[in-house]
């Protein structure tokens, strides 16, 4: 297998070039061996991509060859596989998906007990070693049990016990032809919400929009929400672990702002509770935590790191700017359907529009942009930038990338763990200050990047 497909959180590459069925079989046999092989129980599901079914078939063949058993969940949102592992106390799970990457990509998300992600430093390096050394173990073939409808029923019952019936909220959802298609609307309606949908048919070509929900890709959703009087709109990513919300005025709401609202309204008078957030979130997170006596715990970006802190700290909520939202109520998982229900509950609790709730928060100017940088150099570029800003005498945070604290705001430059990109995020107290901060960050970044011209 190609080394470059093993990334920080998962295995991911272009199907047919980086990943083929034989790779899937090896991943299955190696992961099952890592978990203990014979007698272990592993949930398997896959997304809508054209290559996912054949990759999942090969993966399952590899798993059962070790004597491990497969609980087959078929085409399903990623969070339901995590739920199955945690709720049924299985030994692990695998989802065949490339999440929000373009259609030609595919990959594998692996998780251990309690749905803990098997990433680099938490087991994925051992899976790779088993493949490299061919040190897997085989045994009498394990069984395969189809459990898709069973798990879906258990999931709906679990949600119903938490939320009861939510009524009076009108929602427009856009699954983007991804794994949330059909299933998401079905669950939300069963819990009492009034739900309309667009792009709600599973299609691995993602014909309606990119599997990455953004302000641009959700333009149709935003327009429809505003013009047709919906309370909220929700755009899901390709495998349904992210929910990007649109308020009643058609504005996209970042994940960290949703987290701020959860803290402010659900943790009021609950001093001492904990939340987890990542390094590129708004300073509003810390401010609202201070106002309410909540303990904020900062983390590296990514499911692997935030879920670990959610579980170890017994946190109530977690969030990322990318709209991964985590909930202590459901095993600490990031779950886009659960997030949708939680926002509906928020509107019911407060009796206010989402735009009103956001309007009550202090205002900061915000900037976010991604820059294409080859995988081969992106982490070295960040290391060079860290040295650059240290020598300039700035106060920096290097938990994930390099975050530079300035008098009127801050910015962070970090390498993406899933795409060949460097991401810039900045925040300031005014538009003028933000423009100045972004200009400095971009100039510094481009200056370092020129050192690598012709090297990639």
| pLDDT for the residue numbered 419 | 81
Cα-based torsion angle of the residue sequence 194, 198, 200, 205 in order, rounded to the nearest 10 degrees: -160
**Domains delineated in the chain:** 3-148 (3.40.120.10), 164-359 (3.40.120.10), 365-452 (3.30.310.50)
Name every residue whose Cβ is closer than 8 Å to that of residue 286 and which is 6 or more positions away in sequence.
Answer: 296
Q: How many residues does the chain have?
A: 456
Q: Tell me the DSSP string of 387-423.
A: HHHHHTT-EEE-SSSEEEEETTEEEEEEE-SSSSEEE
| pLDDT for the residue numbered 454 | 60
| pLDDT for the residue numbered 8 | 82
- Give yes or no for a contact between 213 and 176, defined as CB atoms under 8 angstroms apart: yes
- If the chain, 456 residues long, is cut into consecutive pieces of 10 residues, what is the mean pLDDT of each piece? 89 97 98 98 98 98 98 97 98 96 96 95 96 97 97 97 95 98 96 98 96 96 98 97 98 98 97 97 96 96 92 97 97 98 98 98 95 94 97 95 96 90 96 97 96 69
- Give yes or no for a contact between 211 and 238, defined as CB atoms under 8 angstroms apart: yes
| pLDDT for the residue numbered 234 | 98
Instruction: Please name which of 81, 84, 18 lies closest in space to residue 55, comparing C-alpha atoms.
Output: 18
| pLDDT for the residue numbered 9 | 85
| pLDDT for the residue numbered 456 | 45
| pLDDT for the residue numbered 455 | 55
Please tell me the chain's helix, strand, coil percentages from 3-state DSSP, rounded to the nearest 5. 40, 25, 35
Asked about 148 being catalytic, the answer comes back as no
- Give yes or no for a contact between 31 and 96, defined as CB atoms under 8 angstroms apart: no
| pLDDT for the residue numbered 453 | 77
Active-site choice (52, 65, 99, 179): 99
């Amino acid at each position: 297998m190609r080394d470059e497909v093993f990334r920080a959180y998962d295995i991911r590459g272009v199907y047919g070039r980086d990943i083929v069925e034989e790779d899937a079989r090896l991943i299955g046999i190696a992961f099952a061996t890592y978990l203990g092989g014979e007698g272990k129980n592993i949930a398997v599901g896959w997304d809508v991509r054209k290559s996912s079914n054949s990759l999942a078939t090969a993966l399952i063949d590899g798993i059962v060859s070790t004597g491990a058993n497969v609980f087959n969940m078929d085409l399903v949102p990623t969070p339901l596989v995590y739920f199955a592992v945690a709720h049924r106390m299985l030994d692990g799970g695998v989802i065949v998906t490339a999440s929000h990457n373009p259609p030609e990509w595919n990959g594998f998300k692996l998780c251990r007990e309690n749905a803990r992600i098997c990433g680099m430093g938490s087991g994925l390096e051992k899976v790779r070693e088993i493949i490299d050394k061919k040190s897997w173990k085989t045994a009498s073939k394990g069984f395969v049990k189809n459990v898709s409808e069973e798990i879906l029923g258990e999931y709906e019952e679990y949600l119903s016990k938490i939320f009861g019936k939510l009524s009076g909220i009108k929602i427009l959802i856009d699954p983007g032809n991804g794994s949330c298609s059909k299933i998401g609307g079905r669950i939300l309606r069963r819990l009492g919400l009034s739900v309309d949908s667009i792009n709600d048919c599973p299609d691995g070509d993602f014909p309606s929009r990119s599997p990455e929900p953004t302000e641009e890709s959700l333009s149709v959703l935003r327009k429809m929400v505003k013009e047709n009087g919906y309370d909220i709109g929700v755009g899901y990513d390709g495998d349904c672990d992210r929910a990007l919300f649109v308020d009643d005025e058609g504005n996209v709401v970042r994940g960290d702002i949703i987290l701020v609202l959860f803290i402010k309204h659900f943790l009021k008078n609950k001093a001492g509770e904990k939340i987890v957030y990542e390094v590129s979130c708004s300073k509003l997170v810390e401010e609202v935590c201070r106002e309410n006596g909540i303990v904020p715990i900062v983390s590296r970006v990514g499911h692997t790191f935030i879920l670990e802190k959610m579980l170890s700290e017994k946190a109530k909520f977690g969030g990322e700017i990318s709209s991964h939202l985590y909930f202590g109520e459901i095993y600490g998982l990031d779950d886009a359907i659960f997030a949708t229900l939680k926002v509906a509950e928020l509107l019911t609790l407060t009796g206010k529009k989402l735009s009103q709730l956001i309007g009550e928060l202090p205002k900061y100017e915000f900037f976010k942009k991604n820059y294409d940088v080859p995988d081969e150099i992106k982490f070295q570029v960040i290391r060079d930038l860290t040295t650059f800003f240290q020598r300039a005498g700035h106060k920096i945070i290097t938990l994930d990338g390099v975050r530079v604290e300035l008098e009127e705001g801050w910015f962070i430059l970090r390498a993406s763990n899933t795409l060949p990109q460097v991401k810039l995020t900045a925040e300031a107290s005014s538009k003028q200050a933000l423009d100045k901060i972004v200009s400095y960050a971009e100039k510094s970044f481009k200056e370092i990047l020129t050192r690598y011209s012709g090297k990639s």
